[in-house]
Amino acid sequence: MLIHPTSERLIALGFTGMAKALDEQRHAPTTFDGLSFEERLGLLVDREAAERDAKRLTARLKFAALRQAACVEDIDLRTPRGIDRAVMAHLVDGAWIGRHENLLITGPTGLGKSWVACALGHKACRDGRAVAYHRVGRLFEALAIARGDGRHARMLKVLARTDLLILDGWGLAVLTSQERRDMLEILEDRHGRGSTIVTSQLVLS
């Protein structure tokens, strides 16, 4: 049986996960002796699917560029952040993103606003959603540069199509007239199409 050429052909076709699983079966034949052909083939397909899912997740996380490596499983609800367990469970579920709802996280410096936002962004990536993280000040700087080199419209289009946009550090500086217009464009384009998380030290009364 031509095992090695088969593995090489799988790799050439882009089925690297199946090739790895086939090699594992070849090197540990007794482990798989009791399985039928369909079961062994199923293991190859499952491995390929798992590896492709992992690659897609890696790509989504790279695009998201989350500021912190945070996970919702690590959120300590015992910490006095004023987070309601039921509300957090609702946010972790992620259905609100599918409904294009928005989230405002406010509180003083050091409360963990950015960390929680990144944790929710990480969960959204794991759920297969496109996420983008931006510090508000740096986003406006990037938009100003993009306006000068002709990328402004394209950048706004990317922001509009993102399932979850995280705007971190709102209200740290007074916006210029151009920045206000940019923000209006972003929010208008995303209305009914995507969800936005805004973190801010400004507490609404």
Quote the percentage of the chain above a pLDDT of 90: 65
Q: 166 φ, ψ to 5°?
A: -105, 115
* Section 125-143 average pLDDT: 96
| Residue 124 vs residue 78, higher pLDDT | 124
Q: What is the pLDDT of residue 1?
A: 46
Q: What is the pLDDT of residue 163?
A: 98
Against a cut of 0.85, is the pTM above it? no
Q: What is the pLDDT of residue 165?
A: 98
Q: Chain-wide mean pLDDT for the chain?
A: 90
The Cα 108–Cα 112 span in angstroms is 9
Alpha-carbon torsion, ordered 81, 86, 90, 93, to 10 deg = 100
Quote the percentage of the chain above a pLDDT of 70: 95
**17: buried, middle or exposed (CB in 10 Å: 19+, 13-18, 0-12)?**
buried
Q: What is the pLDDT of residue 204?
A: 57
For 25-82, how does the pLDDT look when each residue is reduced to its tens digit (9 = 90+)? 888 877 888 888 899 899 999 999 999 999 999 999 999 999 999 999 988 777 666 6
Answer yes or no: are the C-beta atoms of 116 and 75 closer than 8 Å.
yes
On the question of pLDDT at 190 being above 50, the answer is yes
For 23-40, how does the pLDDT look when each residue is reduced to its tens digit (9 = 90+)? 888 888 778 888 888 998
Give the model's confidence band at 7: pLDDT under 50 very low, under 70 low, under 90 confident, else very high: confident
